[in-house]
Chains A and B, each alone.
Chain A
Amino acid sequence: MIHISNAAIKRPKLFFWISGLLSAVLITLVVLPSLWPTYFPMLNALRVDTDPENMLSPNEPVRLYHDAQKKVFSLHDMIVVGVVNKSNPQGVFNKKSLADIYALTKFAKNIQWKNKQGKTEGVVSVDVMAPSTVDNMEPGGPGVVKFEWLMRTPPKTDAEALSIRKKAQNIPLLNGTVVSADGKAIALYIPITDKNISYNVAQKLKAKIAGFAKNGDRYYITGLPVAQDTFGVEMFVQMAVSAPMAMLLIFLLMWYFFKKASLVISPMIVALISVIFTMGLLIVTGYPVHIMSSMIPIFIMPIAVLDAIHILSDFYDRYPVFKDRKKTIKHVMKSLSAPMFYTTLTTAVGFASLALTPIPPVETFGLFVSIGVMMAWLLTVTLIPAYIMLMPESKFANFGMCESAGNDHGPMVRILNATGRLTYSGAKMIMIIVIILAGVAWYGITKIVVNDNPVKWFAPGHEIRIADRELNKRFAGTYMAYLVLKDGQKTVSLTTYAQKLKADMLSQPLAPLKEMAPQVDSLRALSKSRKQMINLLSEKIEQRMKTVSDQDWDSWDSSLTWIGDYLAKDQIFKDPKVLNYMSRLQAYLQTTGLVGKSNSLADVVKTVHRELLMGNEKDYTIPNSRAAVAETLITFQNSHRPQDLWHFVTPNYRKTNLWLQLKSGDNRDMSALISKVNQYFRDNPPPDNLSHKWFGLTYINVIWQDKMVSGMARAFAGSFITVLIMMIILFRSISWGILAMIPLTFTIGMIYGIIGLIGKDYDMPVAVLSSLSLGLAVDYAIHFLARGREMRKKFSNWQETSVAMFSEPARAITRNVIVIGVGFMPLLMAPLTPYKTVGVFISSILILAGVATLTILPALMRIFEGLLFKKENQKDVT
């Protein structure tokens, strides 16, 4: 490894030229296709992917099922606009507010545009749910049933506004969904062609809302698609702010430590080129920039300067000894090249282990950070020495740690010296504390709650979070989950079905059925499906009916009906017993406290049934025959929105969809719901062996979380073992290898213990941190142990070695801890929680790992000196 550094020392300019040129090439390769995609179709342009659904591979079964069901039930992702008025006693049910809502609905229905491919995008206007787009049905006096738009035109008086509220609250599908439970607020459900346009649509809605005269109305825009899309937009704003901030902070700290601005520019160059290389490579190879990969620069930068700080720190401390930059840097590179290479490898392995997770964006992230880390190492060991060589010797006058003052100068030096003494004299005490802390950490880990919620990726004060709270307080819920019920019976072959039909026809009292039965076999031969066969049979009967006498006609007509009903038996979701089961399931869901409201075909049937009768609550039931159910359904279809039915059931009535509104998008709550529903199906076996299956974004989130938790556990175990093996090889000793793993094990244990103790959810960023912290935290141990073992050769025992260890090597580690720890701090200012989490935890991991390295390792070396330094001790004896 040392050879490339030496080459760089010999030809410093060449190395800068090469790196500069490579960066320029990569930048060109990204910029050209991104700005002029038509001219450079062979190159990959910058692609941004803000869709958390892509946390799962596009052909993941859960996503395929989700997409297929959305199509089957004509469902779209929705933007939810809530309107709340706290100052008016009637809430938004007043003349002015409803006029605004009417105008907004009309505006929303017209948000459409043609995309680049010429396809229309925007709001799916037919499915917009708003007071002016939904129907009201109610008894209109004795023997009269009334159908009307709930709000055809804005009300002329406040009293009219209240009557709209009364009507809406009477319709179960609207109550709690369009009108709030307290009757003060309204929610509009705006389906969109693609969730990636939700930010765009939301912006247009906001602009329209801004034009309304003030009357105390507050508009809140939410829904998972908005949250996800907004996150994507803010992610880039975020990266544009925090990455340069981190860079600036690191620069300032290094300047403080090494006092020479011109010198500390070199690690900045290394960091910048590393980022350009990594991100350039990512884009050029066609990977999209995802929520995860957008964090690559912020990871690469501090890691890239890690090694540089070791070099500069050592250089700073030793320059006064040699007073010659070439000699100094050669010496520094010689002592550091092995530990630097190993620390880089371990970091790379830590990140690369993320490739073991089954989550594509995490894989990409791990892979590219790993590449970036290796790249940063290569650049560090060449460009830093080269840079030093390019600086004139004269610039180094008065540079470096003054040896005379070195031993008792500055707080850092004093603290480190004291720590060194303490680790020797109080080694056992330290280990007792470590063991107690480890116990506490273990307890904390057992308390960890696995949970995530993309809406909570925003800080609590973010408008999306506020909207989320306000709307879920008043409405049944803005998080959607869908439960599909399906006929679970085995499909019988057409032949078997025909045989049964024939037998059933022969056993009927109706003479025409007996007469027609023998024709079934020949019709079966002509048909591909039951439907076709029965239709052919019906046609035959109809032909006959043209010629039969009036006396016989009735029995022929009844036979025709019998045949039609026979086929209709397959339409299980017209069956009252099935609909009643669904109603009971829904009633149960309501008792779980996890579901704000569920909407289903059963609710449609019950509502129409009630309104067809006198609108009394006692008739809010499923009628008791299949034909009566069919009549309520056809009555419903006489409305302005007959297509609404197909959101709940397929036209063949063999598959149904329960729309669940959840007040919480926490994966924990969705998981609880899934297991409760499973339990319900076990305890209450459904008719017709109905099977159930989930879809919806809230459900998908649970699936990817499950995959991530198990994937991360695998990645962690994988990288732990790999790093342990690397340590054993590096130190050529099992005990030294294990020793190297102790500080990081303690650190990770402590961090996760704290997460469990403070009740922070184990979410996406926390999960990702486990493997990467492993690679980073071991760095300090490697440096400490490598230098410690080397230094022990110069001294006769650990006591003396320890004193030397707590001078230059400990200072390098401490400077590193401070620079990197602080370098991640700008993430704390992020409005997006995952970045904050990453910032807090990386900083704490590094600081804790630094402290653990500088305390636990010397303490253990003191305790196990005999074992660890057997060779040296023997040498001393001989």
Chain B
Amino acid sequence: MNHKIKLLLLLSFLWTVPAVAQAQGVKNPAPLTAMDIVKKANHMSYYQGKDGRATVGMRIIDSQGRTRIRQFVILRKDEGKTDGEQKFYVYFTRPADVKKMVFMVIKHIGRDDDRWLYLPALDLVKRIAASDQRTSFVGSNFFYEDVSGRDINADSHKIVSQNKNYYVIENKPKDPNSVEFASYKSWIHKATFLPLKVEYYDAKGKVLRRYAALKVAMVAGYPTVISSVMENLQTGGKTLMSYSEVKYNIGLPDNIFTERYLRKVPRKYLR
């Protein structure tokens, strides 16, 4: 199925969603700035509910069609401020040989995130210091930054076009040396403010990577992308990501997101 058809299907579904955003649009006729849109999109992608959990399955498919799988439970909790700091706890269940591996992130705004990795067989807890956040997330075509969210202040944003359904935002990095792309465009759904497609370009305008939301569902009143794909057009590989058992506002305690819990699994929240 090509992307256009997928997007159309998605759209037809989304029109049936009584989106909060749509109602807001009516109340406030003043045109949104690019930054307004990006902020909303950022919120919809990463900050819905105070906390949440999901079981995530990844199928990493290379250019030859060879598939590898990853499965993990992801727990998220937001800090007090709106769309600010967040905590993630990622517990791996598959493949079997990396089961119990944990990846934990304290996401900061305006400075580097804190990241920990727990490797049970090596019996190691490691803090990860990375020069940038655009490294592969456990070998998939998603970057670490795609999973935790890119700082909206790292790029300058511009509305390049819009139609009935989308805002098309062009984003250019403020520090071009820190990233592998020259710019990226996001197609942000007007009704839900979910980015349904994102394309990353090199300096010549060639597409390097392409993200697409494949399926959106209403979970506890939140429009949630439950299936998506990230393609790497340079290697020809892609990763399909699917969410199941998604829950919001489950009341995750703070202490789960500490080094102590890397070795001691918070089974209650992972089940």
Contacts and interface: CB of A to CB of B under 8 A. Distances in A.
Contacts of B132: 148-149, 152
Interface string A617-639: 00000010111111110110111
A148 B130 contact: yes
Interface stretch (A33-41, A75-83, A564-572, A707-715): A564-572
A637 B202 CA distance: 23
B119 interface: yes
B135 A145 contact: no
A574 B97 contact: yes
B234 A635 contact: no
A612 B125 CA distance: 9
A146 interface: yes
Contacts of B234: 125-126
B235 to A, nearest CB: 5
Interface in B119-155: 119-122, 124-132, 134-139, 144
Interface in B61-83: 62-64, 66-68
A733 B97 CA distance: 82
Given A140-B129, A639-B136, A651 B62 contact: yes
A72 B65 CA distance: 11
Nearest to A106: B203
Interface in A521-580: 545, 550, 553-554, 560-561, 563-565, 567-568, 571, 574
B94 interface: yes
A652 B180 CA distance: 29
B95 A612 contact: no
B164 interface: no
Contacts of A110: 202-204
Nearest to A110: B204
B136 A637 contact: yes
A640 B96 contact: no
Contact of A627 (B120, B129, B136, B235): B120
B9 interface: no
B37 interface: no
B94 A564 contact: yes
Contacts of B66: 650-652
Contact of B98 (A634, A639, A650): A634
Contacts of A651: 62, 66-68
B260 interface: no
A635 B119 contact: yes
A127 to B, nearest CB: 9
A146 B93 CA distance: 25
A153 interface: yes
A646 interface: yes
The listed residue with most B CB atoms (<10 A of its CB), out of A153, A564, A634, is: A634
B135 A638 contact: yes
Given A561-B99, A565-B97, A637-B139, A145 B121 contact: no
The listed residue with most A CB atoms (<10 A of its CB), out of B131, B202, B268, is: B131
A152 B177 contact: yes
Contacts, number: 134
Contacts of B144: 638
A71 B62 CA distance: 12
A758 interface: no
B98 A628 contact: no
A612 B126 CA distance: 8
B267 interface: yes
B117 A635 contact: yes
A593 interface: no
A400 B93 CA distance: 100
Given A125-B234, A147-B130, A612 B64 contact: no
Nearest to B103: A638
A691 interface: no
B271 interface: yes
Contacts of A630: 95, 97-98, 121
A143 interface: yes
Contact of A148 (B94, B131, B235): B131
Interface string B226-244: 0000000011010000000
Given A146-B130, A153-B177, A632-B122, A627 B135 contact: no
A144 interface: yes
The listed residue with most A CB atoms (<10 A of its CB), out of B96, B138, B234, is: B96
Interface in A347-399: none
A144 B129 contact: yes
B131 A147 contact: yes
B128 A561 contact: no
B198 interface: no
A635 B125 CA distance: 12
B97 A564 contact: yes
A147 B135 contact: yes
Interface in B217-256: 234-235, 237
B60 to A, nearest CB: 8
A642 interface: yes
A145 B97 contact: no
Nearest to B93: A560
B56 interface: no
Contacts of A147: 128-131, 135
B139 A631 contact: no
B101 interface: yes
Given A638-B137, A651-B66, A643 B235 contact: yes
Nearest to B141: A642
B131 A627 contact: no
Given A568-B97, A630-B95, A642 B271 contact: no
Nearest to A143: B127
A325 B96 CA distance: 97
A382 to B, nearest CB: 61
Nearest to A630: B97
Nearest to A631: B119
Contacts of A629: 97
Nearest to B180: A640
A125 B206 CA distance: 13
The listed residue with most B CB atoms (<10 A of its CB), out of A144, A560, A623, A638, is: A638
A145 B128 contact: yes
A74 B65 CA distance: 13
Nearest to A640: B135
A513 to B, nearest CB: 14
Nearest to A546: B271
A767 B119 CA distance: 60
Contacts of B177: 152-153
B137 to A, nearest CB: 7
Contacts of A642: 136, 139
Contacts of B237: 643
Nearest to B119: A631
The listed residue with most A CB atoms (<10 A of its CB), out of B67, B135, B144, B234, is: B135
B267 A146 contact: no
B121 A631 contact: yes
B242 to A, nearest CB: 14
Nearest to B100: A561
Contacts of A613: 124
A39 B37 CA distance: 56
A631 B203 CA distance: 36
A610 to B, nearest CB: 12
Contacts of A652: 66
B101 A568 contact: no
The listed residue with most B CB atoms (<10 A of its CB), out of A145, A153, A629, A631, is: A631
Contacts of B127: 143-145
Interface string A586-624: 000000000000000000000001001100000000010
Contacts of A638: 128, 135-139, 144
The listed residue with most A CB atoms (<10 A of its CB), out of B117, B134, B180, is: B117
A561 B96 contact: yes
Given A147-B131, A623-B122, A630-B95, 9 more contacts: A74-B64, A143-B127, A145-B129, A545-B271, A613-B124, A630-B97, A642-B136, A646-B62, A651-B67
15 contacts: A141-B129, A144-B127, A144-B129, A146-B128, A550-B267, A550-B268, A565-B97, A612-B122, A628-B119, A631-B97, A635-B117, A638-B136, A642-B136, A646-B62, A651-B62
